Structure 1
């Protein structure tokens, strides 16, 4: 990492490339932008900047590179999820290339259990707990306690499901952390399978927040993970990240690790929002928790950590990666699928109404179309009972919805923060089981929102998607899935709306658009530098644009690392571009191109049969 700082020089002038402000409804270019003391003091023609500002100036020639507002991640979990995953092991359906290692994609139950066993066998200290993230029954089959004990033995093992809303323990882990019957309420017992030591949603939160806190809050592990997170953020051009529902575990542990990581990196700001998980685990009443929220900024804000006042995160239905989302129509070809409410609607409405009446901006985790409809009704009733202007209630994730629901959202003033990666990662598999082809291919249909002028930000919910803003923009603008197919192209959003989703609209999602998100006088001089202009290339190439570096509040940091994320597999095939390894040809192939060339059906099964026989 190389830093260029203006030091005592009064101002810095950037010019010589495409400078895109992200102000307005279409790409707007300026010739130059000037920074002083970490703030933008000018954006416009270069000549005016040179002639009208006295004092010393350091000039930075972009040499044809593209300068955009700093990329923003409007929904992620840097410590309680991200750092833990980055510090531990991964066995997941798709490949993940992290800063420290590439983890190949693994499918099939036998292959999954073999991969878990290989990780366990490689551990030298068998007394230490092993956490492995990425299990998903649609790819890996059902996981029983017998299966897990067989491949893990006496090594305490936690299997963290792909959604991070579920865990499986082996017997050794249950013994080590005293996880036993009687620790859950009657209501929470409904989200537990003691025979297989499997816990999900609220039961998971209780077990994790009470019994497993010594593991999930281990500061040395978390510091290792946050260092990798900082590297990944720079590599992907991220300059700000918002976490809704902080903390996911221990406040003191997560905050101290964030403070360590941000002050060491000095290259990004983390914005933190309180919410239901902490309130639920601490069993705090609404008034007491509101007082707690109001005290946080004064007690804990730093140069790099900002607590968000007057905002609250709550939950509707279960995780889409768990196939626990609430749907208006039954699950498809999935007898084991079960819809779940994280917070039942009656209780959820009471929570919503309290924070609504306090004038808070409310953020709601919503994945299924039934949950979407339920909360539209809740917002409608709240508006009738206690009308509010510009309430900015935001639905997060939004896996499934339809045009009529999008129109209702527009009418009610509801805004959206979406995870477009659901489409890329899940459309093919959920066409087979869970949703069926029509619903699976219609996931995250964002054009329904943008054509109604609903603000839409794009998030990763790291690690539900790679923390790669350009990857998210690419999926939203192309609707490409993991097989390389393009599905429902009519639901593609414009490249401009996609880039807005990782800049100005991302800032708008957590009410920081007056400070970050666009290039405008008075805002932070925080930028992302790209080797190519996303508005001047084929949209299919957007995810592959190299990130040259960032400018964080006037300090330039050049990225000398490689791009991170869920991209290349163990054979070097770029999955996000549609490539898969074919043993028969000895190279990475796009299945639909190979099918046409070799005259077989364009299906996953036909590709596997051709390439592996």
Structure 2
């Protein structure tokens, strides 16, 4: 009997020890940059207990005070940074769809599965379409090609499109993702009768060109099977996951989620995060679904407050008490709201996404609910008008640390930047606007003065406004080092440097994809820096961005990521 009790006690002890003993991982042997404070701060070692950081400091202390059973990860001279964060993207609502299809855009797209060379010029664009179509094995299979932009590719007529695509059903999706061209074969295949389009003001039936409400009408009806194909969306999300790993992104946020169809978009994300569980997805609902469902503001408010309980997983989180509003048109199709007229662009027309009066009602509703409000604004008139809206809200219902954040900010004036600072408005900018658009917008749309001053981030930081960097993927590749490279150098696609005085410091640049990006999402207590108590999520680079020429940071290879304590190498 005594022998049996001793054996039982032995196994209980072993079992208890296995449960009680935490697992530690010690990271050492390279440059470890915390991104805390106001200047670059290095530590020798980081210790993670499962998914939390429990110690930062010397290697000697880490090795001495943590058990021999700890995993020791030698960086071998590589650099450990807080995990990169993209605080504004659209991976599920449109990104996965685009990556499951073909790309012919004005600039190169380098993705893990393929590099799509940039194409400029009308004839070159049509030839690229012909080449792509000729490479297809099954000419009866529908083709979707994303990336068209009139300023680079010229006017696209139905006759030219039909000649380039022959009998292959083809849909051309504009770079902005807000308009399409449909060839004659696809019109027949999907039973589209242009005469029955309800939103006739948003349709050029001569060339089968549909935008705005007409595009949404087709997308939800005749072309629903194209845009909601589950097989294609899964393929696209697999490619999104690979892109995030390749570029060191450990957290990505979809603003305005869902855009239209909650179950479809959520299932796409859930599939991806279960198959590739090395990044987090944060979701912020917004006006897109509210408009799609034609719900009243208070009804939609009740709806979104059920999302977290229903849909949150280990990798997917609806962020509480945050809402997304879109103010003006896209910068890519020059429909943003500008104070001065467009240059050499008779077709350019500024648009409000919804009437400003309605936008203010929506803003005030969530303001009075003490929500953090994310506001997409592209043009300087939009910034001016929304500064006035925020000012009125503060006068009626003062709120300390309201954290209202403007996103995109393609062009704004120094005067309105000062007003933003006075109103305590934060910012998340898209530096790729400068890189991709400045050259062309010197000639058309903006003119040299405005085009050279696009995304003038230093106007914000010098006034104490924290600035994060985002891609707005798929409008630009989700690549934080590319965004940092542009923000730090003010370099554009032609290789020219535009207004270097507006460059961000390297420290603020890297903060823009780590700690400030976390603050944009109210996640600075969990992510964004290497600090005891925070999540053990890091990006591993083969070079230290603070020790090389800023012009080379976009080419730093990403060795891999550490996600909640688990290493995933490229």
Cα offset, 1:55, TM superposition: 6.4
Are the equivalent residues in 2 in contact too, given 1:9–1:56 (CA < 8 A)? no
The offset of 1:313, in angstroms, is 1.2
Shift of 1:171: 3.1
CA distance in 2, matches of 1:314, 1:469: 24
Partner residue in 2 for 1:581: none
Q: 331, 356, 368: which is aligned to 1:320?
A: 331
Match of 1:73 in 2: 86
The DSSP-based 3-state class of the residue aligned with 2:392 is: helix
Q: Secondary structure at the match of 1:74?
A: strand
| 1:428 is aligned to 2:435 | no
Return closer, same or farther for 1:423/1:181 CA change in 2, 3 Å cut-off.
same
1:21-32 to structure 2, matched below 5 A, reads: 21-32=34-45
Aligned to 2:233: 222
CA distance in 2, matches of 1:274, 1:205: 19
| Alignment match, 2:157 | 144
Structure 1 residues 491-550: Cα deviation after superposition (integer angstroms, max 9, x where no partner): 001011010110011111111111111111111100001111111111111111111111
Quick check: 1:271 aligned with 2:262?
A: no
The 10-residue stretch of structure 1 (431-440 or 153-162) with the greater mean CA deviation from structure 2: 153-162
Q: Do the aligned residues in 1 keep the contact of 2:25 with 2:50 (CA within 8 Å)?
A: no
Match of 1:39 among 52, 77, 86: 52
Does structure 1 residue 401 correspond to structure 2 residue 416?
no
**Contact between 1:315 and 1:342, CA under 8 Å: does it hold in 2?**
yes
Q: Note the alpha carbon deviations across 1:134-160, whole angstroms, 9 max, x for none.
A: 101011111223332332244322211
Shift of 1:18: 1.0
Question: What CA distance in whole angstroms lies between the structure 2 residues aligned with 1:75 and 1:460?
Answer: 7
CA gap 1:199/1:383 in 2 versus in 1, 3 angstroms: farther
| Contact 1:18 1:31 (8 Å CA) reproduced | yes
Equivalent runs, 1:72-221 vs 2, <5 Å: 72-180=85-193, 189-221=200-232
Structure-2 separation of matches of 1:115 and 1:157: 14
Q: Is the 8 A contact 1:74 1:459 kept in 2?
A: yes
2: CA distance, partners of 1:483 / 1:247? 36
How many Å apart are 1:115 and its aligned residue? Answer: 1.4
The yes-or-no answer on 1:496 pairing with 2:515 is no
- The 5 Å alignment of 1:219-258 reads 219-258=230-269
Q: CA separation in 1, counterparts of 2:224 and 2:524?
A: 35
1:361 matched to 2:376? The reply is no
Render the CA deviation track for 1:340-368: whole Å, top value 9, x for unaligned.
Answer: 22222122112212221222111111111
Give the deviation of 1:74 after TM superposition: 0.7
**Contact 1:209 1:250 survives alignment (8 Å):** no
Equivalent residue, structure 2, for 1:352:
363
What secondary structure does 1:323 align onto? coil
Structure 2 unaligned blocks of 5 or more: 1-20
TM-score by length of 2: 0.93
Q: Distance in 2 between matches of 1:182 and 1:344?
A: 28
User: 2 CA distance for matches of 1:265 and 1:205?
Assistant: 31
Residue 456 of structure 2 aligns with which residue? Answer: 445
1:331 corresponds in structure 2 to 342
> Structure 1's 209 and 26: CA in aligned 2 closer, same or farther, altered over 3 A?
farther
C-alpha distance in 1 between matches for 2:358 and 2:184: 34
In 2, the alpha carbon distance for the partners of 1:355 and 1:167 equals 33
Residue 141 of structure 2 aligns to a residue whose secondary structure is: coil
The alignment of Structure 1 onto Structure 2 pairs a total of residues equal to: 550
User: Given the alignment, which residue of 500, 507, 531 partners 1:520?
Assistant: 531
Question: Is 233-242 or 356-365 further displaced after alignment?
Answer: 356-365
Deviations 1:565-588 (A, max 9, x none): xxxxxxxxxxxxxxxxxxxxxxxx
Contact 2:149–2:174 (CA<8 Å) still a contact in 1? yes
CA distance in 2, matches of 1:270, 1:204: 28
Aligned to 1:287: 298
Task: Provide the rounded CA distance (Å) in 2 between the counterparts of 1:50 and 1:310.
Answer: 42
Q: Distance in 2 between matches of 1:105 and 1:546?
A: 22
TM-score by length of 1: 0.87
CA contact (8 A) 1:213 1:249 kept: no
Structure 2 Cα separation of the partners of residues 213 and 267 of structure 1: 31
CA distance in 2 between counterparts of 1:241 and 1:265 reads 14
SS of corresponding position for 1:342: coil
Query: C-alpha root-mean-square deviation of aligned residues, in Å?
Result: 1.7
Q: Distance in 2 between matches of 1:57 and 1:387?
A: 51
User: What is the aligned partner in structure 1 of residue 8 from structure 2?
Assistant: none
Instruction: Quote the Cα distance in structure 2 between the aligned partners of 1:116 and 1:122.
Output: 10
Deviation of 1:178 after TM superposition, in Å, equals 4.4
1:461 is matched with 472
Cα 1:393/1:184, change in 2 over 3 Å: farther
Question: Structure 1 CA distance, aligned partners of 2:55 and 2:258?
Answer: 38
**Alpha-carbon distance in structure 2 between the residues aligned to 1:391 and 1:189:** 41
- Where does residue 6 of structure 2 map in the other structure? none
Q: Deviations over 1:109-133 (max 9, x none)?
A: 1211121122223333333321100
Q: Is the 8 A contact 1:205 1:277 kept in 2?
A: no
CA 1:310–1:199: 2 relative to 1, 3 Å? farther
Matched-pair contact (CA < 8 Å) for 1:316–1:371? yes
Q: Secondary structure at the match of 1:82?
A: helix
Partners of 1:530 and 1:498 lie apart in 2 by 16
Superimposed CA distance per residue, residues 78-97 of structure 1 (whole angstroms, 9 cap, x where no aligned partner): 12222112111111111212
Q: Give yes or no for contact 1:417–1:456 (8 Å, CA) kept in 2.
A: yes
Instruction: Summarize the alignment of residues 574-613 of structure 1 with structure 2, pairs less than 5 Å apart.
Output: none
Distance 1:408 1:527 in 2: 36
Report how far residue 405 of structure 1 moved: 0.7
